[in-house]
Amino acid sequence: MFFASWSTGYEDVQKQDKDLMPLDRIGSPLFMSVAVPEDLGQRLHYLDMMSQLCASDVLAYDYCGYGFSEGEPSEENCIQCIDAAYAYLLQHFAPNRIVLFGRSIGTGPTVDLAVRHPEIRGVILQSPIESCGRAVFGNLASWLGYRMDLFRNYEKVDKVECPVLVMHGTDDDIVPIESGMAIQEARLRVTG
């Protein structure tokens, strides 16, 4: 896990004594789930920029099998990773202050955590996937390969109780804009 403070820059949480960390800054902390195959080393500038622009602390984590993390990549392991990082964050912040931020495939663990923890302050989904199968192969292939489809956000996003912001670029060549629009439509059906 890496921690970005809006005032002091980055620290490697695994190598830093938590008593020395400058936590609890101005805004709500952003708890970020990055896209795959990015690892945190590739995203440090982006995370630092988010910390500075939002005047907030940022906690991000690597998934199993990426960056410095050991283990095999899988949906189950991604959920275990976000749970472990969330448990760490709860040592420093009340859940009603935490804002989840998921990007691309990182929206999968983010939505899953938000469903299981309705006390979270809010969720930001950037270029969200409906599911891995739908993002790559479309709805029909996702239906045919349902058991193999990962991060089925389309089944969960309507169960998130806190406010959700969905943002998706029109020129995204990795996750189709239709995926973000479908997630937003599912949210609108809930919130009216």
| DSSP, residue by residue, 118-175 | TTS-EEEEES--S-HHHHHH-HHHHHHTGGG----GGGTGGG--S-EEEE--TT-SSS
CATH at 49 = 3.40.50.1820
The boundaries of the domain holding residue 46 are 2-191
Q: Which residue has the higher pLDDT, 67 or 173?
A: 173
Q: How confident is the model at residue 142 (pLDDT cuts 50, 70, 90)?
A: low
Mean pLDDT, range 6-24, rounded to an integer: 44
Question: pLDDT tens, 104-140?
Answer: 989 999 999 999 999 999 999 999 999 988 787 777 7
Q: Is the pTM of this model over 0.85?
A: no
Report the 10 Å Cβ neighbour count for 114: 24
What distance in Å separates the CA atoms of residue 136 and residue 174, rounded to the nearest whole number? Answer: 9
What is the number of structural domains in the chain? Answer: 1
